[in-house]
Amino acid sequence: MISLADYLQLLPKTELHCHLTSTMRARTLHELAGRYGVPLWTDDVEKLFDFDDLVDFLRGWRVAHEVLRTPDDIARVAWEGVEDAVREGNLRYREYYINPQYFAHHASPLSYVEVIDAVIAGLSRAERDFGVGFRVVVAINRRESAEAAVELVREVIANPRPEVVGIGQDDLTPENTEDPLRFADAYALAGAHGLRRTAHVGETPTASPENVRAAIEVLGCDRIDHGYRVVDDPSVLALAQERRIGFATTPWSTTICSGWTLDEGHRIRTMVDAGLPVSVSTDDALFFRTDLGREYREGLTALGLGIEDAQRIALAGIDMAFCDEDDKQRLRADFRAAFLALDALLAR
């Protein structure tokens, strides 16, 4: 006999919306910051992860990139993040946003290839050790220019890796907005070269449903990160439903970055009720003191969602993933077998 909380904890999971730097352990952050003499964003250890809002959090998040100085640091963090997520939430497959533009600004810059190959090395070792498959999505830093984004996509195209399957985004524009259309040229180039596309839209307090529409119609995304404003306009909701757009949501982060309460009136609940494909991720586990198990155990429960919803959400993560169809079929079979085993434990 297991409790509902145990059931949700043990449920096999995918995670599609996950920034690699945010999978770092707090003690690794401290250790590397000490080694390289990087001052963290506050001296008060108790308040290190107390953020007022999205803009406040992003200040800390940028600093955290500075402690990753070598390919070995990056590979270590990648591996440790998988070990933790398996223990904390039975992670089975993950996609990572990695933003090479931050590492180009280090005192000893790391190249695109150095960063990406370090990520792949760490995650490949973790796949051998824990059986967790992965893909990498290169994130456009919205703080940088539209031209820099095009340049980044050119690097992705010029240095193909089978593990690198698409482009996404992180950070905010210098004006602290989403502004999806600013990066239209980078997305067009990515699309022309067969890269998958996703974008962070519909999250911030000033975001509108039109940002979600732009990501779908102009950027060519078939998956959206956050996207909560989709339910604010019936015509955008209908567009997303018609095109079966998947949404990689992050419940806990919305309590900080969007200022919302997790309850039955939350937009994620409305998205689930509208039949949109919804998956659940941590976004930035280190900074928001969350983990994948907690997102299901506490997040879904607070939204008023039950076991069948949790199973549907776990499977939606497979449908929306950017991996091959063979990988998806294996994951679906594994997940369904695990559901049956867990159902038996719950009913006993």
> What does the binding site for Zn ion look like in residue numbers (CB under 5 A)?
283
Euclidean distance between the first and final Cα of the chain, in Å? 5
Write down the least CB distance from residue 299 to Zn ion, Å. Answer: 15
- Rounded CA gap, 248 and 49, in Å? 23
| DSSP category for residue 22 | G
Write down the least CB distance from residue 281 to Zn ion, Å. Answer: 8
Nearest C-alpha neighbor of 226 from the set 211, 236, 238, 239: 211
**163 vs 283, beta carbon nearer Zn ion:** 283
Is residue 248 within 8 Å of residue 279, measured between CB atoms? yes
Write down the least CB distance from residue 220 to Zn ion, Å. Answer: 19
Write down the least CB distance from residue 94 to Zn ion, Å. Answer: 13
Write down the least CB distance from residue 216 to Zn ion, Å. Answer: 18
**71 vs 246, beta carbon nearer Zn ion:** 246
- Rounded CA gap, 229 and 227, in Å? 6
Write down the least CB distance from residue 6 to Zn ion, Å. Answer: 28
The burial class, CB within 10 Å (0-12 / 13-18 / 19+), for 346 is middle
**124 vs 176, beta carbon nearer Zn ion:** 176
Q: Which residue is nearest to Zn ion (CB)?
A: 283
Residues 6+ positions from 217 with CB-CB distance below 8 Å: 239
Rounded to the nearest 10°, the torsion over CA 20, 141, 134, 309 is 90
Phi, psi for 141 (deg, rounded to 5): -80, 110
**71 vs 277, beta carbon nearer Zn ion:** 277
**73 vs 203, beta carbon nearer Zn ion:** 203
**17 vs 69, beta carbon nearer Zn ion:** 17
